[in-house]
Chains A and B, each alone.
Chain A
Amino acid sequence: MSAILSVQDLVKTYPGTRKSPPVEAVRGISFEVAQGEFFGLLGPNGAGKSTTLGCITTLVRPTSGRIVVDGVDVARHPMEAKRRIAVVPQSRNLDRDLTVREVLTYHGRYFGLPAAEREARADRLLRELQVAEKADAKPLTLSGGMQQRVMIARALMHDPKVLLLDEPTTGLDPQARRLLWDTLRGLHRGGLTLILTTHYMEEADRLCERLAIVDHGRILTIDTPAALKRTLPGGQILDVWVHGGGTLAPRLGGLPGVLRVEKVERAEDEEGGERLRLFVDPGDGLLDRVLQTVRAGGGDLRHVSLTAPSLEDVYIHLTGKELRE
């Protein structure tokens, strides 16, 4: 695998002020992304995803570590690095004083594209991203999904090697989200390297070829979504919500067919309630045995569900908590 992006031992600590202590946003992150790969950084808000992206795009100065994009050291040669990457930022920051078309052509000017080339490229991207009919409109009159597509068109104007997207579908309605997914898949098929941060499991699962799960400034694991799901013990997941069961967890864990029991924390849980996640190898009579154990322990069963593991389960397994939204 030839890496187009390599991040080594990245650390970013935001200095504290009189009122706030220093923040260790990234505490030693390393990963590599191959040419043409669709890579994802998945984690809750505040996990360090955006800071990592900021360091790759030169907008955040790393405390330590090294980032190389297409053979260029980002810290040493930021100008060269900036020509190779493009960013679709989290906040919609289209130039509100220009028209959509001018947003693209001026971006081309910033990168020194000759007139004929930037006009032709703007035409093509307006068409490909389905915003051609809004070419002469001001960005702020466009819907959120359209603005997002214009930002992608703008990013592609200077023909980058790597496209970075920071939570691109946050705040979009389901339809716009699906359209954006299709767009990103199309770009990926066209050979572009894409790096996406998200806190949506479904998005990460559907789009990314490989994923890094990030929490508290560290990478917990990196693999393909399918391989990540396979790391869970047993084949299925049995969620059991009980009330008043006391110390049920060890007893359930001792049942045949139950490989592992985890407690799931949820903020909104009522007092005395408990959510247990059983990683099970389902066989004859498993549900019966679980039910009997709960009753024998004096617990009141509130909910049972048996599911195939999802990325979310992997996440809960790794961090012991649900993804904060």
Chain B
Amino acid sequence: MTALLALLRRDLYVASRNAAMLLTAGLTQPILVVLVFGNVLPRLHLVADEFRTVMLPGLMAISMLMAGVQGVLMPLMTDLAGTREVDERLLAPVTVFGVAAEKVAAGAIHAALAGLVTLPAMMLLMHGVMGAEVHPRWLALLPLVLLAGILSAALGLTLGTHVQPRFSGLLFAVVIGPLMLFGCAYYPWASLTALGAVRYLFLLNPLTFMSEAMRLAVTPDIPHMPLPLLLLGLVGFGALFTLLGTRSFAKRTIL
């Protein structure tokens, strides 16, 4: 346990030292999206004013997903393929599952912070703009952000241990891209009734539950997925990817 906490401490220490870089990496995209879709396009009457309220929680979810990708997936992929810094961790008095679990924990904290930082940044950006109805329910937000963070870190662990670095370009094109577009980030799940039964396909995307969770916590006035289904999705996918990720991590590290 001492070793696990020390590993976590090391990760948080390094992250805090790189805070400026991580913030820039995490905030630039959502800010630009908010500027274009929340400010420019509505002024040109190309999108409805409500769109900005709909997409704000979605952008939080995307920030968290990307934090999981940047914080766990990419470093893990290069480490397993070459630098092998992970070997030092495996030689510490921890089990291989402990090392994997620590990666999920550190990634979850990183992702949760990314989500929490994105929210005020966007609220500030849309302050006083018509049609932005953001009323965060902080008590609901914190646990949901943490669950969503665990899910995105676990997804990063699973993908990072399954994908070779030479396929990372493909990974973004065929996995991360579709996840972001079909994850209810830019439209609420409730509105998908218009698609009929096809809408259930969106439930295969973990981002759907993250987006809807943020919707419930940040813009409660907008229709959102009921809490039990939401929790089932977050916890279910989180557990599944943690299991898959730790198993393949063990396979890749202990020969």
Contact = CB atoms under 8 A, between A and B. Distances in A.
Contact of B14 (A14, A98, A111): A98
Interface stretch (A85-93, A180-188, A245-253, A293-301): A85-93
B46 interface: no
A93 B85 contact: yes
Given A60-B255, A82-B93, A83-B93, A98 B10 contact: yes
B88 A14 contact: no
A93 B88 contact: yes
A205 interface: no
Given A59-B254, A59-B255, A60-B254, A107 B88 contact: yes
A20 B132 CA distance: 59
Interface in A222-274: none
Interface in A67-97: 78-79, 82-83, 86-87, 89, 91, 93-97
A61 B83 CA distance: 21
A189 B90 CA distance: 29
A112 B255 contact: no
B85 A14 contact: no
A106 B91 contact: no
A65 to B, nearest CB: 15
Interface in A83-140: 83, 86-87, 89, 91, 93-98, 106-107, 109-112
A155 to B, nearest CB: 9
Given A82-B93, A109-B9, A59 B3 contact: no
Contacts, number: 72
Interface size class on chain B is 20 to 34
Of B83, B84, B93, most buried by chain A (CB within 10 Å of CB) is B93
B142 interface: no
B176 interface: no
B87 A89 contact: yes
B3 to A, nearest CB: 5
Contact of A95 (B85, B95, B254): B85
Contacts of B87: 59, 87, 89, 93
A78 to B, nearest CB: 8
A111 B10 CA distance: 13
Interface in A174-201: none
A208 B92 CA distance: 27
Contacts of B7: 110
A148 interface: no
A106 B18 CA distance: 18
B2 interface: yes
B62 to A, nearest CB: 26
Nearest to B9: A109
Nearest to B14: A97
B253 interface: yes
Contacts of B6: 106, 109-110, 112
5 contacts: A59-B254, A60-B254, A94-B85, A95-B88, A106-B6
